[in-house]
Structure 1
Amino acid sequence: MVNPGKALGRALIGSLFIYGGRNALVNRQHLTGLIDNAQEKYGVKEKVPATSEQLIQANGAGMVALGTTLALGIKPNLSAIGLLGMIGVTTAAAHDFWNLEDPQERNEQMTKFFGNVAAAGGLITLLSTKG
């Protein structure tokens, strides 16, 4: 029998990723500079065989797909593991508040960083409970 609380939790967490993935797909041109900067900062720009826009599209589509399967309870553990990997990369690339000087921007990115940490915690909780 399906645990109603866990099913609701999957739907709520899944909706976060569906929305975030859709937002990335719709606003990908706005995000390319962010990805370019992150690739340069971490020294991987020459090693990645895709453009920033392609990476954003792949990440956005993956979040929509895995968020949907998580929300519907289709292979939820596999979905959660995939989303954990995606949120880890996204968080490191987009919300590196520790590198920012401006207090307002630093606070904004710190809030987004910890929002992603909380989402990761929800995914880990889903993975570690039965039902």
Structure 2
Amino acid sequence: MSPVRTVARLFLSTIFVVSGARSVARPTAFVPRAQKVTEKVGPLFEKTHPSLPTDAETLVRLNGAAQVVAGLLLATGRLTRPAAAVLASTLVPTTLAAHPFWTVKDPMERRHQETHFMKNLGLFGGLLLAASDTQGRPGLAWRASHYAGHSKHALEHGRHNLDHGLHQLGHSGESVRRAARTARREAKIAYRAAAVGRKLPS
């Protein structure tokens, strides 16, 4: 891992670890804003599975815990791509709940919330880059196409060897048949010579 990637992941994950820890420790401070989102997604959770939590406080805690765990994984370089994807998914409800600038009427407050919204949008873009970063290694799409091409080449090579082997087998079979015909002719000649020898007077 390059030093630039290490530092960048550390900086990118810090805000999620800190804010996630605050959400887990003191969720009540975030509940009023989170309710704007949980009131809409709660019924969807109930339809998916009745045992899923739907209250705002529990969802705030779960979202914060996911940010802490994924942020630590990203900072330490473990499972970085899945961790970045998780952080990106947690950032969506957080941003919608905390910074809905389009609903604010006061011009100054609207600009303030819009700035935070754009900041989170930039974080989201950074997380998408981290989620797609293969650290210079070939990605799954390239490896799949490479292995497919390699398998096709191997199949064509095997088919060529098979055709060559059948061709050689055909030549060998013809040689065996020719040798058998020669042996039969020689046997007939020897038989006739022996028969003539028996007929001659001694």
TM range, normalised to the smaller chain?
A: 0.7 to 0.9
Q: Percent identity, please.
A: 30
Give me the TM-score of the superposition, normalised by structure 2. 0.58
Residue 129 of structure 1: how far off its partner (Å): 3.3
Alignment partner of 1:69 out of 70, 73, 77: 73
Q: After superposition, what is the alpha-carbon deviation per residue over 1:20-62, rounded to whole angstroms, capped at 9, x for unaligned?
A: 101222331111111223344xx44444442110001001111
Unaligned runs of 5+ residues in structure 2 are 46-52, 136-202
Q: Which residue of 1 aligns with 2:9?
A: 10
Total equivalences in the alignment: 128
Alignment check: 8 A CA contact 1:28 1:53 kept = yes
Distance 1:38 1:103, change over 3 A: farther
Greater relative contact order (Cα < 8 A, sep 6+): 1
Give me the TM-score of the superposition, normalised by structure 1. 0.87
Distance in 2, Cα, partners of 1:26 & 1:62: 13
Residue 92 of structure 1: how far off its partner (Å): 1.7
Q: Which residue of 2 aligns with 1:110?
A: 114
What residue identity is the alignment partner of 2:74?
Answer: L
Distance in 1, Cα, partners of 2:21 & 2:113: 20
Unaligned runs of 5+ residues in structure 1 are none
Residue 125 of structure 1: how far off its partner (Å): 2.1
The structure with the largest alpha-carbon Rg is: 2
